[in-house]
Structure 1
Amino acid sequence: MAAPEFKIPRPHLGEPYLLTPGPLTTSYVVKQAMLRDWGSWDDDFRGMTRELRARLLDLLGAGKEAFDCVPMQGSGTFSVEAMLGSFIPRNGKVLVLANGAYGKRTAQTLEYLGRAHVVLDKGDYLPPRGAEVAKILADDPAITHVVAIHCETSSGILNPVEEISEVTYAAGRKLLIDSMSAFGAIELKVADIRYEALVSSANKCIEGVPGFGFIIARKTELEAAKGNSHSLSLDVHAQWAHMNKTEQWRFTPPTHVVAAFLVALRAHEAEGGVAGRGARYTRNRDVMVAGMRDLGFETLLKDRWLSPIIVTFFCPSDDNFAFDRFYELMKDKGFIIYPGKLTVVDSFRVGCIGQMDEHVMRQVVAAAKEALAEMGVANAAPPARALEERAILAA
């Protein structure tokens, strides 16, 4: 099937735009790909699995030959748990770098798995930096692995995985990356950043639909993972070995989702790959943030740490503002936003990914302006305490 030409997105059959970090707004051709049934054992579907794995490896650039790709049924969290349970030995110890909900979920997963771990918790505002990671590793020689979240979507922060990688391997440890919401839009070329494995999902920056994730790992790590897993269905080594032997998934695959994902991968290539996709998302963010700031909204993060994936805004302090009402007004205007996940102050999030461009983001800002007016909100500025806390913690 020929790669679809990338075109400027337009409204999709009256559906609202999903301004979330995935599931997200998909193209019509991606939706259309799910209208056919496939036999999971059939040669045609085996060929689809081969193409999927090869295309994802291509995104690694030079050095991809040392890696392999293992799709895994389920949501992205299934694949994260599969990565952790398969690549961290039962006698290993993990340093979890957390600055939001997904770092904390990693720690919770390790609790379930019975893997020893420590957490560097940076709160909602700041990234983990190389120097502090290096100190923790120097002080605790029992740590074998570091787990980093590439883009922490509970805040929208883009973490500095390159410097984290440098200090991790300088200390003789191994790095695993949860790139759930970043892979496909932000480079993770193995020639530039060293890591053992990454995990992402079909319904993120490749712009497919939910149903499976994938683990991309060094073949040496995949080979060494035999016998590590706590789970039958989440055993990455077993899935990898079975796929390489039979070209089939071990258990029933999400066939329609795979078909849609291949169309999305071809569109990703037509747009210019990681660079092209990332550039569009960056323009989306810049246009949307500038417009929202003009309305008086404040971002949780300073510009330096804003990702092109999703942006967190403080809720206005105006007594007339209620998030639930704002959410419904935005939905009525064709835009589904995301609640915040901060613990101290109220917030909401606006995603920049999916089948949207900067023209759509201008419509988002216009809708927000109208919603504020309908609510009688005169000023979208946040509470003073929110800005004070940000200043203190970011100092």
Structure 2
Amino acid sequence: MTDQGNFPPPKLGEPYLLTPGPLTTAYEVKEAMLRDWGSWDADFRVMTDEMRMRLVAMLGEGGDDFTCVPMQGSGSYLVEAMLGSFVPRDGKVLVLANGAYGLRAAKTCDTIGRARHLLDMGDYMPPRGADVARILAADPAITHVLAIHCETSSGILNPVAEISAATYAAGRKLLIDSMSAFGAVPLEPGKIRFEAMVSSANKCIEGVPGFGFVLARRSELEAAKGRSHSLALDVHAQWEYMETTGQWRFTPPTHVVAAFIEALRMHEAEGGVAARGARYANNRDVMVAGMRGLGFETLLDETWLSPIIVTFFNPADPKFDFARFYELMKDKGFIIYPGKLTVVDSFRIGCIGRMDAAVMTRVVEAARDSLGELGVASATPPAAALEERAKLAQAKVRETA
């Protein structure tokens, strides 16, 4: 029997969620939601204060100028709140996209009336500092750059350090969507300059869905007064109200906050960002090596593989049916994620959540057995998919040269 490691199967008969969030949480996190909290009660205000302080502390070097503003809603709510609050109505955003979430940010700009320039790198390639520098030099109207820290459509960990350097060399400001990276991938403002970033409770800190948070420079928050297009998504108004009263402006997700406090304490006990990131990276390495041993191939090469989620090409074998493969994996206790690419068939396996390398070894075993039940002899992808990857990558290199 395979070693259970330090992360035995979730209680209550749950499968592991091999997704970029929601994800598998610790029983202690679930248990924290069993108590009801009064949203205006002093005990809940103390919880909110603790949460805000812990999140700022996670920034590390250079975080003294920052504060935390939690806000109700999913990650997309937070991205819209950040864009609408920190980008002036007459500003313009360079949106760096290499997947669905960058494209969604561009659509958000259109919806809320912020001018934008979209750099779409497709599914395979990261935006580079040189790309940013070139576009900013050609368009002085751009005031802000928006970068996706980890684009989970493909699993690319984008090079935010060089993007930041190019942004500030051109005298502009950087905003970061770090939904699927914060808490496991360092983002220290003393090393990578930015004005604000957003993330969510149900990602690398291993809480449950219901709210996200903005970590922003106080000077940017002060300048954001009256800027937002929205009542509920006004980051400055939420911050000002919390600073004055200790309360959330509108009904907070009390149970979710209680669970998140427990998740933050467990994150610290594990060793913080470095230890969490190391566990996820080891999860990835064990899982990728095992899947490649079955014949699967990753969308990305080693340079850009994130420790968050990995995209695999579907096998060429005509007996492979993703819907059936999904169900077979679920029957074995693992929920995987469908692909989100535009040009080739794929699926994704997440590396984050309450899991370790022993769990990932079992994931590979489940994939092997599921292929056997489908009658698939090899998971090797179609040659056309690999050719398409190479062709598109080369085209993007020429396009951005």
SS for the counterpart of 1:392 is helix
Which residue of structure 1 lines up, in the alignment, with residue 249 of structure 2? 250
Q: Is the 8 A contact 2:61 2:191 kept in 1?
A: no
Q: Which runs of 4+ in 1 moved over 6 A?
A: none
Q: Percent of counterpart pairs with the same letter?
A: 75
SS for the counterpart of 2:96 is strand
SS for the counterpart of 2:241 is helix
Task: For structure 2, list consecutive stretches of 5 or more residues without a partner in the other structure.
Answer: 395-401
CA distance in 2, matches of 1:78, 1:54: 22
Which residue of structure 2 lines up, in the alignment, with residue 297 of structure 1? 296
CA distance in 2, matches of 1:61, 1:354: 22
1:11 aligns with 2:5: no
CA distance in 2, matches of 1:128, 1:12: 38
- Whichever residue aligns with residue 9 of structure 2, its letter is P
- Whichever residue aligns with residue 222 of structure 1, its letter is L
Task: For structure 1, list consecutive stretches of 5 or more residues without a partner in the other structure.
Answer: 1-6
- Whichever residue aligns with residue 155 of structure 2, its letter is G
Q: Cα offset for 1:65?
A: 1.8
Alignment deviations for residues 220-255 of structure 1 (CA, whole Å, 9 cap, x no partner): 000000111011000000000000000000000000
Which residue of structure 1 lines up, in the alignment, with residue 130 of structure 2? 131
1:287 aligns with 2:286: yes
Counterparts in 2 of 1:304-383, with a 5 A limit? 304-383=303-382
CA distance in 2, matches of 1:203, 1:145: 27
SS for the counterpart of 2:310 is strand
SS for the counterpart of 1:163 is helix
SS for the counterpart of 1:183 is coil
Q: TM-score, normalised by structure 2?
A: 0.96
SS for the counterpart of 2:216 is strand
Alignment deviations for residues 330-374 of structure 1 (CA, whole Å, 9 cap, x no partner): 000000000000011100000000000000000000000000000
SS for the counterpart of 2:225 is coil
Q: Cα offset for 1:91?
A: 0.1
Q: TM-score, normalised by structure 1?
A: 0.98
Which residue of structure 1 lines up, in the alignment, with residue 99 of structure 2? 100
SS for the counterpart of 2:83 is helix
CA distance in 2, matches of 1:88, 1:40: 31
- Whichever residue aligns with residue 178 of structure 1, its letter is D
CA distance in 1, matches of 2:61, 2:183: 16
SS for the counterpart of 1:132 is helix
CA distance in 2, matches of 1:298, 1:187: 28
Which residue of structure 1 lines up, in the alignment, with residue 261 of structure 2? 262
Counterparts in 2 of 1:204-219, with a 5 A limit? 204-219=203-218
Alignment deviations for residues 197-221 of structure 1 (CA, whole Å, 9 cap, x no partner): 0000000000000000000000000
SS for the counterpart of 1:147 is strand
SS for the counterpart of 2:32 is helix
CA distance in 1, matches of 2:383, 2:117: 34
Which residue of structure 2 lines up, in the alignment, with residue 4 of structure 1? none
SS for the counterpart of 1:94 is strand
Alignment deviations for residues 26-72 of structure 1 (CA, whole Å, 9 cap, x no partner): 00000000000000111100000000000000011132221110000
CA distance in 2, matches of 1:293, 1:279: 21
1:20 aligns with 2:15: no
SS for the counterpart of 1:385 is helix
- Whichever residue aligns with residue 333 of structure 2, its letter is G
Q: Which moved more, 1:248-257 or 1:59-68?
A: 59-68
CA distance in 1, matches of 2:6, 2:72: 31
Which residue of structure 1 lines up, in the alignment, with residue 171 of structure 2? 172
Counterparts in 2 of 1:195-234, with a 5 A limit? 195-234=194-233
Which residue of structure 2 lines up, in the alignment, with residue 52 of structure 1? 51
Counterparts in 2 of 1:74-85, with a 5 A limit? 74-85=73-84
CA distance in 1, matches of 2:210, 2:131: 37
- Whichever residue aligns with residue 190 of structure 1, its letter is P
CA distance in 1, matches of 2:10, 2:157: 30
- Whichever residue aligns with residue 218 of structure 1, its letter is R
SS for the counterpart of 1:215 is strand
CA distance in 2, matches of 1:383, 1:24: 30
CA distance in 2, matches of 1:123, 1:56: 32
SS for the counterpart of 2:213 is strand
Counterparts in 2 of 1:133-152, with a 5 A limit? 133-152=132-151
CA distance in 2, matches of 1:63, 1:129: 24
Q: Cα offset for 1:190?
A: 1.1
Q: Cα offset for 1:114?
A: 0.8
SS for the counterpart of 2:22 is coil
Q: Cα offset for 1:394?
A: 2.9
CA distance in 2, matches of 1:132, 1:87: 23
Q: Cα offset for 1:393?
A: 2.7
CA distance in 2, matches of 1:365, 1:238: 48
Q: Cα offset for 1:98?
A: 0.2
- Whichever residue aligns with residue 298 of structure 1, its letter is E
